[in-house]
Amino acid sequence: MNGIDERLRVDRSMVAACRDHARAVADGVYRMISGKTTVSVERTICRLLGIDGVDERGVPLPNVVSDYLQSESLVGDGAWYTLARITAATGCAPIDSARRIAAGQLDATRFAHIDAGHARELLDPHLVDGIARIDDARAAREELKAQYPHRSQPWLYVIVATGNIYEDTVQAKAAVAQGADIVAVIRSTAQSLLDYIPYGPTTEGFGGTYATQENFRIMRKALNESIRETGRYAQLVNYASGLCMSEIAVTGAFEGLDMMLNDSMYGILFRDINMERTFIDQHFSRMINAYADIIINTGEDNYLTTADAVDEAHTVIASQFINEAMAKRAGLPSRLMGLGHAFEIDPDREDGFLLELAHAELVRRIFPDAPIKYMPPTRHMTGNIFKGHLMNAMFNLASVLTDQSIQLLGMLTEAVHTPFIQDRALAIENARYVFTTARHLSREIRFTPDGVVQRRADQVLEETHRMLADVASTGLPAAIEAGRFAAIGRPVSGGKGASGVCETGERYLNPFADEFARRLDERREGDR
């Protein structure tokens, strides 16, 4: 980005102050969640220890274990310690312990307690195996990338959402053949509120397809076939959010996904999930994504579907600063932070395109190393497909002009129906035309020092700084409760999934978090 910064003046001292406030906000969140775990974190530990499959009633075995921990008031001891305690008494591996719990053949409360060192030692081979699965998937992905490189950014991002994983693979392969760089499998409506991950392949979903490990495997295999056919790498996206945030992150890591939607506040604001539950789960899920080298996508673009894109532009950037601070606490480098924003200003507003440029350029300059995710116009789509196609072209122009990274393509049939294959083909054709004909336009543009774009960027940054200072003063939970983000307020102590939060006891262990943190530190040192 060197030299390009000259085209938009950005007050670097104010950006630094914003980051200071965002770190203070993140510090407050981590004080709130310190010494706590959730049933979904414990299920994630189960999966990393090799527990998979279902019981005779079809209940996923990680849920069998977490339900047992809850019923016996053992969540505070955690899955690792409890399973190690069982191993010490019976010799059972974690998967066998889970099966015996499912059959009602085990009562861990009857077994003697063991010390932490012994508990760690007993299950350490399973830790090695669990992390090796992530390493192997990452290595396979990197080998494929080396053989079939990415196309240059902006990457063209499209969605499939049939509800049937096998139909999704057909549509995904068609999209890659048409020119897509990224395929996102939209998750079935309301899956974020399920406190379990369905098992196996699924063929029925409403508005999308269930996120399951087998579905991830099936889609990854299909895209790998497309990569070899087209000679270029195609990335796979799904959702690590909701009540199974860290669990979905680890299944995605096992199956070699490239990106995960993984926001720190989306579930609270848009799904009314408990704050503590969300913040605890997002931390562990982001550690997993960081270790697996998976790009996260944050959800600030959604704010502009419920709040005005001009009046509330600063809330998007304030949230991006907070997401960045929390992601760094989890070990995510900037190159994996797909911070979100959107092209959502009313198209009938005079100079609206200039305001869009100001917002997009400001985000790009503040976060120069992040693979920014830029979302298309949706709020003001009316079903007029001709105007919609034009709006998407303007969105594509804004993207190439401001050096965006991840371009989620707009569909001319937005607000009409779920996109057909031909709708995606037109969207890709639109973007490829604009990106080709204006490829180096950003190098030629300089904004007038006192013009509309510069003045708007200055205003938004100042408003962002004031908001972050206020949030750092009140704390993020109070700011969310007051409706400061997306014009949606949520109570601090309310929300779905609150019963799944538990204080950790003196015997609690999460060696996976410790090992991820250690290895991520080593990576950072190596990068220096």
Instruction: In whole angstroms, give the CA distance from residue 463 to residue 212.
Output: 41
| Identity of the amino acid at 435 | F
What is the SS3 string spanning 298-367? CCHHHHHHHCCCCCCHHHHHHHHHHHHHHHHHCCCCHHHEECEEECCCCCCCCCHHHHHHHHHHHHHHHC
> Is 301 an annotated catalytic residue?
yes
Dist CA 210 CA 192 (whole Å)? 10
Q: Let me know: does 49 contact 93? Beta carbons within 8 Å.
A: no
Out of 210, 373, 403, 458, the active site residue is 373
Query: Is there a catalytic annotation at residue 508?
Result: no
d(CA 27, CA 291): 22
CA of 307: how far to CAs of 3, 130, 242, 443, in Å? 34, 42, 22, 33
Instruction: Report how far residue 267's alpha carbon sits from residue 274's, in angstroms, rounded to the nearest whole number.
Output: 8
Nearest to 391 by CA among 371, 420, 413, 373: 413
Q: What angle do CA 366, 369, 373 make, to 5 degrees?
A: 80
Q: Which residues of 390-418 are buried (b: 16+ CB within 10 A; e: fewer)?
A: ebbbbbbbbbbbbbbbbbbbbbbbbeeeb
Pairing of strands 337-338, 36-38: unpaired
* Alpha-carbon span 243 to 411, nearest angstrom: 30
311 catalytic? Reply is: no
Dump the DSSP string for 400-445.
Answer: HHTT-SEEE---TTTTTSSPPHHHHHHHHHHHHHHHHHTTTHHHH-
Q: How many CB atoms lie within 10 A of CB 182?
A: 27
Catalytic residue, candidates 157, 196, 210, 266: 266
- Rounded to an integer, what distance in angstroms lies between the CA atom of residue 166 and that of residue 345? 37
Q: Which two tokens stand for residue 490?
A: 């949520």
Residue type at 77 in one-letter notation: D
CA distances from 274 to 201, 267, 478 (A): 29, 8, 13
* Annotated catalytic residue within 301, 403, 423, 458: 301
Which residue type occupies 381?
M
Residue 29 identity (one-letter amino acid): V
Using CA atoms, how far apart are residues 139 and 494, in angstroms rounded to an integer?
42
Q: Which residues are catalytic?
A: 266, 301, 373
